[in-house]
Amino acid sequence: MTPQAPPVLEVEGVSKSFPGVRALEEVSFELRAGEVHALLGENGAGKSTLIKILCGVHRPDSGTIRLGGEPVRVTSPRHAQSLGIAVVHQELVLEPYLSVAENVFLGRQPVGRFGLVDRRRMQGETARLLGRLGVELDPGTPLGELPMASRQLVAIARAVSSSARVLVFDEPTTSLTQRESDLLFAAIRRLRADGIGIVYVSHRMQEIFDLCDRVTVLRDGRRVATRRVAETDLAGLIGMMIGREVGEVRHAEATRKGRTVLEARGLGRRGVLHAVSLTLREGEIVGMAGLVGAGRTEVARALFGDLATDAGEILVDGAPVRLRSPRDAIRAGIGLVPEDRKEQGLVTALSVRQNLALPSLGRLAPFGIVRAGAERRLAEEYVRRLAIRTPSVAQAVKHLSGGNQQRVVIAKWLATRPKALIVDEPTRGVDVGAQAEIHGLLRELARAGMAVLMISSDLREILTMSDRILVMHRGRIAAELRGREVTQERIMYHAAGEGASLRDAAGA
């Protein structure tokens, strides 16, 4: 992308309101041909509304959209596609039981002379599109048999097949490993080289610096600024997003460690975990890294009594405990913030008060009847302590932002007064401001003496938050790193099973 490249998409003075909410106000945005343009902002900043306007889900109240210099009114997603605007959503809208080719041309299958689907042509066109992305996939393979990164590439091929001039990527790497993300980035760079304009939405800041040419920041429905990525830095972007200056991110401060609270000795489960041993001490944040499928979440579940093991033991305060269910873990003083807050951590139809009370019902309902006053006081206390932004504790959780939903999940486990807290992907899908607040909360808990095990796929989060780091590979702890040993390269070597090579290189 060069500064002289013509705009392929122009948004000028667009506003949009919903009942009681001004989602966008006089927002202007420009995308050039052959550019990857990041769209950043906290949850609620207006990014999703702007994307939905571009792809025809919402219509603006005012303002102008130009495509190739010509004004357009995008009336529906199908109309957007016909204009050359396509969106690759975070949650892929694909059919796992259909083949790769059938997904790419779903609803637009080429037909032959007698009105029958021309499968040979469809598969040939699919192979050509995948080749354009640098991908080798059998067009006849059922989509459900492919890993998530390959499914993302199929979604891109589907978008490109409609002659897209503008591609919007909405949090595309949320479910991908680093290696899978690299494959996706290579495909995006090929599309950029072909002159396609790309809007890229992500909460992972390093991706912005690695991939994007320019960045536009939204805050409270307004455009704050547009900058060349090469002319800004992390602190500057975060400051624009949250409206205040922030310090440089640094490694977790050394804290005084207390006694061992939680210990696992040789935990095993056939085909899943192999001789996993670890300790958590008071006042310590232990990071756990590893590729998807390495066994990190399985360790968390085993420590929480949600996954039966066939070898090893778990100790709390030095004494062996038998965790046959999460109820046993709660009684032993262990809490778990799961990786999927909506499916595993919350009952979204229930209120903040009810969600906060769920793990503490044994205390709040000693005779099987919930004491409403105690439940309300508990909820109000933790809403205040964790600064959960909600009109009241009676508000349904589904109406809160992602960051506030995550605070509710953390709060409900803090309400059980745990000795050890396990947090699995604590900032997945929340904006940068909420990430900083959750990180601050975890540090406060550690300073107060809690033992924290933090599982994360975000290496930057692991590096900046952890006192020491456990790296998993194929169900085993491949390394424990601390101090000067802690680098992104070392973590990735061990996560990929290359620890022996690393040791050999160090010895040489």
Say if 1-84+164-248 and 260-507 have the same CATH topology.
yes
Q: What DSSP element (H or E) covers 313?
A: strand 311-316
Alpha helix stretches (DSSP H) within 339-456: 352-357, 361-364, 372-385, 402-414, 432-447
Which stretches of the chain drop beneath a pLDDT of 50?
246-254, 501-502, 505, 507-508
Confidence at residue 244, expressed as pLDDT on a 0 to 100 scale: 54
CA angle 263, 269, 274 (to 5 degrees): 65
Give me the count of residues in the chain: 508
Name the residue ranges covered by the structural domains of the chain.
1-84+164-248, 96-162, 260-507
Alpha helix stretches (DSSP H) within 27-171: 47-54, 77-83, 100-104, 119-132, 148-161
Confidence at residue 372, expressed as pLDDT on a 0 to 100 scale: 79
Confidence at residue 471, expressed as pLDDT on a 0 to 100 scale: 93
Confidence at residue 122, expressed as pLDDT on a 0 to 100 scale: 85
Closest CA to 230 of 205, 245, 248, 212: 212
Confidence at residue 34, expressed as pLDDT on a 0 to 100 scale: 92
Write the pLDDT tens digit of every residue in 323-367: 999 989 989 999 998 887 777 888 888 888 888 888 887 777 776
Question: With contact defined as beta carbons under 8 Å apart, do 311 and 347 qualify?
Answer: no
Q: Which residues of 64-103 are buried (b: 16+ CB within 10 A; e: fewer)?
A: ebebeeeeeebeeeeebbebbbbbbebebebeeeebbbbb
Write the pLDDT tens digit of every residue in 303-318: 999 999 999 999 999 9
- Looking at the DSSP bridge assignments, the partners of residue 449 are none
Confidence at residue 414, expressed as pLDDT on a 0 to 100 scale: 86
Q: What DSSP element (H or E) covers 10?
A: strand 7-18
Domain range 1-84+164-248, CATH class: alpha beta
CATH 3.40.50.300, domain 260-507, yes or no: yes
* Biggest CA-to-CA distance, the chain: 77
Confidence at residue 25, expressed as pLDDT on a 0 to 100 scale: 93
Q: Is the pTM of this model over 0.95?
A: no
Confidence at residue 213, expressed as pLDDT on a 0 to 100 scale: 95
Confidence at residue 254, expressed as pLDDT on a 0 to 100 scale: 46
Ramachandran assignment for 20, one of left (phi > 0), alpha (psi -120 to 50 degrees), beta (any other): left
